[in-house]
Amino acid sequence: MNEPRYSLRQETDGTWTVVDIITRLPAASDGRDLTGLEHDDARDIANALNRDYLAGRESPLV
């Protein structure tokens, strides 16, 4: 748990996806994939998810 678990991927349409590095799938919140996002939103979500993951907390976003 020393490495971030979530990263960003830019899609061909210019939107961004928050990706779970372990599963290589889009991360999800409330059953909705975190795809089709603006870069700043995707970055903020990934940072929040990684902060909780690295602290050993369950994220309120997932």
What is the residue-level pLDDT of the chain in tens, covering all 62 positions? Answer: 689 999 999 999 999 999 999 999 999 988 899 999 999 999 999 999 999 999 998 876 65
Of the candidates 13, 2, 3, the residue with the CA atom closest to the CA atom of residue 38: 13
Chain mean pLDDT for the chain: 92
Structure tokens at 59: 């994220």
As beta bridge partners, residue 45 has none
- pTM of the entire predicted model: 0.88
